[in-house]
Structures are given as structure tokens and as C-alpha cells.
Amino acid sequence: MSKKINLTINDHAYTAHNGETILDVALRENIDIPHLCKHPDLSIQAICRTCVVEVVKVRLGFKTQPSEIVTSCSTKVEEGMKIKTKSKDAERARIINLELIFSEHIEKCDTCIYQDNCIILKYAKIYNIQIARFPDRKKKYPIWQFSDSIQFDSSKCIDCRNCVEVCDKMQACKFYEVADRGVETIVKPVGAYCNTPLQHNIDSLQNDSNKFDCTYCGQCVVHCPVGAISGVPHWQKVEKLLTEKTNSSKILIAQIAPSIRVSIGEEFGLEPGKIMTGQLAASMKNLGFDYAFDVNLGADFTTYEEARELVNWLNSDKKRPMFTSCCPAWVKFVEFYYPKFISHLTTSNSPHMCSGPIIKTYFADYLKKDPRDIIIVSIMPCTSKKHEINLDTHKIDLGWCLERLDLPNLCHSGSNYHRQFFADTESRNKKLDSDFHQNDKKSIKIKSVDYVLTTREYAYLLHKHKIDLPNLKPQDLDLPLGIYSGAGAIYGTTGGVMESALRSTDYFFRVFDEVGSLEPVIKGENYQLKKKRFSKISQSRIEFKEVRGQKGIKTARVKVGNRKLNVAVINGLGNAKKFLDNLKQEPVRRSDNWLLKSGGGQKFDYVEVMACPGGCIGGGGQPIPTNSKIRDQRAAALYEIDKNLPIRTAHENPSVLEIYQKYFKGDEEFIEHILHSKFKQKEREGYTVMPS
């Protein structure tokens, strides 16, 4: 038990725990103190100096007890302390410091998606700040863009260095650095040259800047208090498509990621963890999308493929462990920082990269539409997904599909769903065919997903169109791609991919042991039903609670089928680095495996890594603020969804099985093309300078 401490804040008595800071206590008691550089995920920096308060400490043996101004984020509570958050002196200093903050931050509110929940504008109102007291200093500061994912507008930067801290300490990427001194201090991507008035060049990393690159995880975005770092906006493009939709032949499809349904409510003032699936479906229709789909289905495909790959992997001589690859920031991290582990990544696509191609092939057939007329917008908790959709390895080669499949209308015609689309299949195929031949039989590659909106961007779009999400009448997601299992639902939290894959791996191993191959799996047969649930196969396990929780590195030994696997679940790239650095190759009997140096040389068979703390629920595209408590609430909601679903495993999802049966028809090469990708070692992609 920690010692209780008595103190007063603004003449009210409170008790606090030993070791707490003044700010901790104040926030817990709902006393607002402005603070910008303090984030619960990060260590105390105490450099923005806006959280100043006046304090009288008890000094035994002294007659007078002078008051002093301290930063509440860094000052520990003491017995008898008298704290004043609104004293004349504290406010005097705080106001000047806030005005100085505004002198470093160029207000570009018109184009800023934080305009409705901007922290510094809020403080400006409360303290009656004169925003333009001091003239803007950073007018000519550059804007950097990292791939199509992240934009850093240094003219809005207040030098709080949260991005530097988070990129270095939490994500182990060191892509940001602080250069120069004094008023010329600038936070910038490593190695960037900037044409500002600085010329000291004391950034120590500059010489080896090629060793550092961005993984686009977006943690700098969610930890930036003033929106200087943001996701590259795609919403304007999507908005334009939506308004022009009436006179175009395009079909607009939106799909929501597993984790955004439990977080988007926060953008509308709801508690974290409020489940909004139905309202989201309604909102997508309200905005004008033709179809509202769920990436949860894509997640079921990922699980299905990944579990299949895992079974094959463990039955083979391949080096272990197998790593998940559905987090594009993690993939980039491996490709850039740890290329020796590239061959350990599963090649199964990430969920929206599974559902995207399926929509553009299977569902295009269903609609009898040219896949090029289908526009898919993924609503994601992630900035890295914006980068992922542009990767060449993730594009669909229509020419390849056409030649291979002769693209007839493969879909079942039983349902009378969407009869309004009567595009002529034959003419469509002819056009595709002629384009293909005109192209000299070269491939016609199209993106599997066209745009990615972050949770924040989508909420902004709804606000802009005056759609009040919480009060919409819930609707169902569209069939046939709207059915999903609980395994897909939990993808959004750390441990979710692992648990989903284990559920199916357990089953696949049983099938394998009974049949001697994974033939029924590839063909999409529901072996459980076929065996009428009395064979050993149907005894598959659902919950793997040992891989749940927000801990950075979790390890467990789990039984699947009749095998025991060592698994690890990691969230945060810093933890991933720690894990990888501690792995060493063991020159063992059968094949060379990787084992942990410490912990008794434990070998690992299967490892899940998510780049962001807590997994996608703490992703770079999620509502701000985010902290461990909020992440916990979001994760709990996902497990709640899973618990209440009738189907909780990917291999029982009828939508998945139907597509395997009727579309893929056991053609492994086709599955490979649609649902798998390749990875290769990456050079530094760095940054591009944008016109400001």
C-alpha cells in the first residue's frame, strides 16, 4: 500500500498517492490544467510549460513558506501542499506560454480536421488568449510527407517533441530528430535539410540518416497535441467521388475495419468502447456509398489463409517462427530494419487487402461490373494502410485473372439481390479482353483498395455532412460480404489475430490428422458439418485467453490439434525490436530456428506483432486522445462483440466457405494471387518536401 498524501487544490482538500504528480491528481479530480507535452504513454518531458501552477510546500523549520510556480506534470505531490491552479501568477505565466505556443503554430484551421476538437483553441477560449499577440515565426517552415501516409507540417509544430519521444522510445524507429538550438530549434525527419534560418547543424544523426525510416505507424500523429503531424488526407478525393456519383458509372463501396466500430463514438462524444456497427452501416449509406461492407469478413479470409499457411509451415522444414504480416507498419519495420526476418512473414494479405480483391473480382462478377469501375474506400484505424494500398505487390492483375478464369459469371444466381445491376457480362468481358490485348498482353494492374480514410477522417466527413452518427437508426451491413465471425471481430486488438488463427489452426490440424492433407480446407468444405460434429474435428477450441491483454510482450504455450506451440504476441515496435534482438538462431537438428536468448532458450513457432500499442485499437488513425485506459475499453468491446456472435471461427463463416467452394474451387494458384503477397528488403523511402 502506498502512503496517502493530503493536499489542497484551489482550497479543496484531496488525498493522493505517494509518487503521483500534481497533474495526475488534478486530472483525476476533473480539475483542468492545460498540458501539451505530457502524454500518459510517454515519460515526463516538462518542456511546454503550460501546466504551471502555484504551489506552497510545507518546509519544516521555516517561518515563511514562499509560493513558487512549478510545472504540475513534473512536480510530485507532498504532504500539506497547497496548490492553486488559478492564482494570478500561475495564470499570468500560463497565458504568456500559451500565447508563445500560438506564435510557433500557424493556424491553418480551415484545412485542419481537428478544428472541432482542437486543444489549443479550447485553451485559447478559456484563458482569453490573444492568438496573434506575437507574430508567427514559422511561416516558411517546410511540410514533409512520408509516402502517402503521414504529413508533417513543421509550421504548425510547437516543438513539444512528443513525436521524437514516441518514435524513438516506443517505436524504436528514430525517424525524427531535434536539430539546432534556441529559437532555431526544429523537429524534423532524420537527415532532412530545411531552408530555415538555422545553420548550426548539430544534429548528430545526420551522417547515418539512411539507417532510419518511417514505418507509417502514425503514433506520432496520435501523440501530436496540435495536429502538426497528420494522416495524408484522402477525404477530399472521396468526397468528390461521392458528389459526382450520380453522373458516373462508378460503384462506391466502403468497408469498415474491425476496430473502428468501438472507437468512432469518441469523435461524437461517446464513451470509448461503444459499439457502433449498425450506425456505421447507416452512415455509409447516408453519405452515398452504394455498399457498406465489413473488413471483418476480410479478416476471416486472412485467418483462414494464415492458419492454413501455419499448418503447412509447421509441417515443413521452414525456419521458425512464422510472423503475422497483417500490420503494414510491422511489415515495413521488418523489410527495412530486420530484412533477415522477411522470409518469416506469412504471405497472407491483411484483412482489407483480402476483402478488396474479393470485391473487385468475385463481387464485380456478381454485379457484372468492370472491376475498374468499382471504387473501394477502407475506413481504417491506421495511417500505414494508406501506404499499403499503393504497394505494387498488393495490386490485382486483371489480365492474369482474365486469362486464367475466363471470368464468366461465376456467382450463384439464386438470390435476387441487386437486380438493378444488369450490365452485360459479355460486353464487359470483351472490353476487358480488348484492353488486355491492346496492352500487348501486359498486365492491367489495379489497386485492390482505392482510398483509405482514418477513423478521424471519416468522423470529420460525417461532421462535415451533418450526419449525427450516434442518433442514426442502425442498419445491417450489405450481403453477401457482410457476414463475419467473432474471429474477424477481435482482429482489432493485440492478440486478436493470434487467437483467431489459433482457433482455425486447431481445427485445421485436426482435419490434417484425420485426412492427411488440407484438401477439404482448400476446397472450402465445412468438414465439421460433414462429419456431423461427432468426430474429433469438431472439438476445436474457441477461446485462447492466454494471448489476450495489453502487455507489450506476451508468451504462451498453447495446445492446438495434438501439438503444442510456443507463441508470442507483441504490440509496439519498440517491444518488437526488443523481442527480435533477443532472438538468436539455433543451429538445431531439423532446421534452424530462432529462440529467445533469455528465458531458457524458448523456441517460437508463431508470433503476432502489431506496430501500435494495444494493436489497431491504439492505431495511428484512431481518435485523439488515446491512452492505455481508452485502449482497454476499446479492446473489451471487441471481445464483447466476439462473445455474442453465433459463429466465432473463420472456418465456419459461410461467406468464406462459399467463396472457396464456388469461386476459388481449390485453385491454389488463384488463391495465392488474390489473397497473398510478397515482401522484399526496402531502401529508405524517407520523405518528400511538399509545397507549403
Partner 1 sequence: MLFNTSIIKKLQKSNLIGRGCNNFLVADKWLSVKNAGIKGDKFVVCNVSESEPGMFKDEYVLKNFSERVIDGIKIAMKFIRAKKGFIYLNPEYFKDFQDYLLPEISAQKVNIELYEKPLHDYVGGEETSLLNSMQGLRVEPRFKPPFPTTHGFFNQPTIINNCETFYAVSLINSGEYKNIKFYCLSGDEVDNSVKELPVNITIKKCLQEFGHKSSDKYFYQVGGGAAGFCYNYKQLNRAFAGNPSIIIYKKNRPEKDLILHWLQFFKNESCGKCLPCREGTYRLLKLLEKQYAGENQDQAVINDLIFTIQNTSFCGLGKVACNAVVSYWKNICPKK
Q: Let me know if 433 is exposed, middle or buried by CB neighbors in 10 A (0-12, 13-18, 19+).
A: middle
Part in contact with partner 1 (CB under 8 A); list of ranges 63-71, 242-250, 357-365, 675-683: 63-71
524-527 long-range CB contacts below 8 Å, 24 or more apart? 524/656, 524/657, 524/658, 524/659, 524/660, 524/661, 524/664, 524/666, 525/657, 525/661, 526/651, 526/652, 526/657
C-alpha cell at 403: 486469362
**Which single residue is written with the C-alpha cell 505565466?**
93
Part in contact with partner 1 (CB under 8 A); list of ranges 68-76, 117-125, 502-510, 527-535: 68-76
Considering the rule CB under 8 A, would residue 185 count as an interface residue with partner 1? yes
Considering the rule CB under 8 A, would residue 390 count as an interface residue with partner 1? no
State the minimum distance, in angstroms, from the CB of residue 393 to partner 1.
39
State the minimum distance, in angstroms, from the CB of residue 90 to partner 1.
9
Near partner 1 by CB under 8 A: residue from 129, 158, 241, 656 = 158
State the minimum distance, in angstroms, from the CB of residue 184 to partner 1.
7
State the minimum distance, in angstroms, from the CB of residue 94 to partner 1.
8
User: 3-class DSSP state for residue 567?
Assistant: strand
Q: How far apart are CA 265 and CA 150, in angstroms?
A: 24
Near partner 1 by CB under 8 A: residue from 12, 28, 86, 92 = 92
Indicate the residue type of 553: I
- Judged by CB, which is closer to partner 1: 44, or 275? 44
Q: Are strands 688-690 and 143-146 parallel, antiparallel or unpaired?
A: antiparallel
- Judged by CB, which is closer to partner 1: 73, or 238? 73
Considering the rule CB under 8 A, would residue 52 count as an interface residue with partner 1? yes
HSE-CB of 388 using CA atoms within 13 angstroms: 31
Near partner 1 by CB under 8 A: residue from 27, 42, 56, 93 = 93
- Judged by CB, which is closer to partner 1: 96, or 275? 96
- Judged by CB, which is closer to partner 1: 185, or 627? 185
Nearest CA to 579 out of 324, 349, 314 is that of 324
- Rounded to 10 deg, the angle between the 235-243 and 455-464 helix axes is 40
- Judged by CB, which is closer to partner 1: 61, or 646? 61
Near partner 1 by CB under 8 A: residue from 133, 240, 545, 662 = 133
User: With contact defined as beta carbons under 8 Å apart, do 634 and 262 qualify?
Assistant: yes
State the minimum distance, in angstroms, from the CB of residue 137 to partner 1.
8
Considering the rule CB under 8 A, would residue 45 count as an interface residue with partner 1? yes
Considering the rule CB under 8 A, would residue 259 count as an interface residue with partner 1? no
**178: which strand partners?**
187
| Subset of residues 160 to 179 that bind partner 1, contact rule: CB under 8 A | 178
State the minimum distance, in angstroms, from the CB of residue 144 to partner 1.
19
- Judged by CB, which is closer to partner 1: 71, or 383? 71
- Judged by CB, which is closer to partner 1: 104, or 499? 104
- Rounded to 10 deg, the angle between the 398-405 and 425-438 helix axes is 120
Part in contact with partner 1 (CB under 8 A); list of ranges 18-26, 42-50, 213-221, 409-417: 42-50
| Other beta carbons within 10 Å of 135 | 7
**377: which strand partners?**
254, 451
Helix or strand (DSSP H, E) at 611: none
User: With contact defined as beta carbons under 8 Å apart, do 55 and 68 qualify?
Assistant: yes
Longest dimension (CA), the chain: 96
Considering the rule CB under 8 A, would residue 66 count as an interface residue with partner 1? no
Considering the rule CB under 8 A, would residue 100 count as an interface residue with partner 1? yes
Near partner 1 by CB under 8 A: residue from 41, 104, 305, 478 = 104
| Other beta carbons within 10 Å of 686 | 18
Considering the rule CB under 8 A, would residue 101 count as an interface residue with partner 1? yes
Instruction: Give Rg (Cα) of the chain.
Output: 27
Considering the rule CB under 8 A, would residue 134 count as an interface residue with partner 1? yes
Considering the rule CB under 8 A, would residue 662 count as an interface residue with partner 1? no
Part in contact with partner 1 (CB under 8 A); list of ranges 99-107, 117-125, 285-293, 604-612: 99-107
Considering the rule CB under 8 A, would residue 49 count as an interface residue with partner 1? yes
> Under 8 Å CB-to-CB from 571, ≥6 apart: which residues?
494, 550, 552, 609, 610, 611, 612, 613, 614, 615, 618
Considering the rule CB under 8 A, would residue 132 count as an interface residue with partner 1? no
Whether residue 189 has a cis bond before it, omega within 30° of 0: no
State the minimum distance, in angstroms, from the CB of residue 39 to partner 1.
15
User: With contact defined as beta carbons under 8 Å apart, do 607 and 567 qualify?
Assistant: yes
The residue count for binding partner 1 (CB under 8 A) is 36
User: With contact defined as beta carbons under 8 Å apart, do 489 and 632 qualify?
Assistant: no
Considering the rule CB under 8 A, would residue 184 count as an interface residue with partner 1? yes
Considering the rule CB under 8 A, would residue 89 count as an interface residue with partner 1? yes
| Subset of residues 357 to 376 that bind partner 1, contact rule: CB under 8 A | none
State the minimum distance, in angstroms, from the CB of residue 114 to partner 1.
20
Considering the rule CB under 8 A, would residue 204 count as an interface residue with partner 1? yes
User: 3-class DSSP state for residue 492?
Assistant: helix
Residues that bind partner 1 (CB under 8 A): 44-50, 52, 68-69, 71, 74, 89, 92-93, 95-97, 100-101, 103-104, 133-134, 137, 158-159, 178, 180-185, 202, 204
